[in-house]
Amino acid sequence: MDHELLCELYQRMLRIRRFEEEAARLYTERKIGGFLHLYIGQEAVAVGALSVLEKHDKVITAYRCHGHYLARGGSSKAGMAELLGKGTGCVEGRGGSMHFYDIDNNFYGGWGIVGAQVPLAAGLAFAQKYKEENGVTLCFLGDGAINIGPFHEGLSLASLWELPVVYLIENNEYAMGTPLEKTAPTEDLSIRALGYAMARETIDGHDIFDVRSKVHTAVQRAREHNQPTLIEVKTYRYRGHSMADPQKYRTREDVQERQQRDAILLLGQKLDELQMGDKRAQIEADIENEIQEAVEFAENSPFPDPATATNYTYIES
């Protein structure tokens, strides 16, 4: 196994984990406003899936977007500053937690209305095909998004028009606080692809190598044959839906059981087994340093100038 790759994946997952832990702390200190949806527990999904994309491929997701932003190469400083509503944030304090964008890295956000990004993703893929860019769009959505109309309209059009898009459902078992068995009639979620004559796949989200290999296959199918895929990744979030969630719908033991198979924990153990403990320690120190610098940067950055409050409403044609 490629040792450098293992270190890279470990570093990327750890970056998200530590970013989110610090965000949670800052939220409890009331330095972050609004909603804060943490990605803790799901890191292997974003990191694994995005690690098989090319730079010109496009990525879009919903409101639990910090992990995808970071995994796509977004700056932790600009991300943390955005959470604090600072002018140095990745969208200059206009978006907040739910609306991160980084178009230079082909990260298209950051959307707050459940399922709405599904047709948008088809539109990104439509443009890639129209312009013959040989690019692929990877669209993340939650298990809570598969029952709303735009999900079905987007899948239907993606299949009908043979668009190079991969839809990846991150099934973390809860649509906010409602467990899957109360929102979906089947345990298998990718089965919905059948109605749209679309390829489908199921992935163990705790296994970053399973994520990589199966997403890679789907991406190739999109790139080479303009065939979309619907993937269900079985994952789990350790924190509440948002910081406001008391999590009455599950026990501490439920979470602890899933943490036994934590992807960061498992990959860390693998590095130790491969006698790469020193390298692992170095990565952990580097990430700690990076995240502390991000927090410091965010705290020391200025808020946006109130005189710019109405900027970005229109573009001058």
Residues contributing to the site for another protein (CB under 8 A): 58, 60, 90-92, 94-95, 99, 101-103, 108-113, 116, 118-128, 130-131, 149-150, 153-154, 156-157, 160, 311-317
For residue 301, the one-letter residue type is S
Query: 230 or 287: whose CB is closer to another protein?
Result: 230
The CA dihedral of 154, 158, 164, 167, to the nearest 10 degrees, is 40
Q: How far is the CB of 267 from another protein (least distance, A)?
A: 33
Query: 4 or 316: whose CB is closer to another protein?
Result: 316
Determine how many CB atoms are found less than 10 A away from the CB of residue 61. Answer: 27
Task: State the Cα–Cα distance between residues 261 and 26, nearest whole angstrom.
Answer: 27
Query: 142 or 150: whose CB is closer to another protein?
Result: 150
Query: 94 or 216: whose CB is closer to another protein?
Result: 94
Q: How far is the CB of 316 from another protein (least distance, A)?
A: 8
Query: 129 or 239: whose CB is closer to another protein?
Result: 129
Task: State the Cα–Cα distance between residues 190 and 41, nearest whole angstrom.
Answer: 21
Beta bridge partners of 234: 171, 204
Q: How far is the CB of 154 from another protein (least distance, A)?
A: 6
Q: 200 near 265, Cβ under 8 Å?
A: no
Task: State the Cα–Cα distance between residues 123 and 121, nearest whole angstrom.
Answer: 5
Q: How far is the CB of 161 from another protein (least distance, A)?
A: 8
Q: How far is the CB of 170 from another protein (least distance, A)?
A: 20
Instruction: Mark out the alpha helices in the chain (DSSP H runs).
Output: 3-28, 43-50, 66-71, 76-83, 117-130, 149-160, 208-225, 252-259, 263-273, 277-300
User: Which residue is it, tokens 């707050």?
Assistant: 112
Q: 277 near 27, Cβ under 8 Å?
A: no
Query: 86 or 258: whose CB is closer to another protein?
Result: 86
Task: State the Cα–Cα distance between residues 14 and 54, nearest whole angstrom.
Answer: 22
Q: How far is the CB of 93 from another protein (least distance, A)?
A: 8
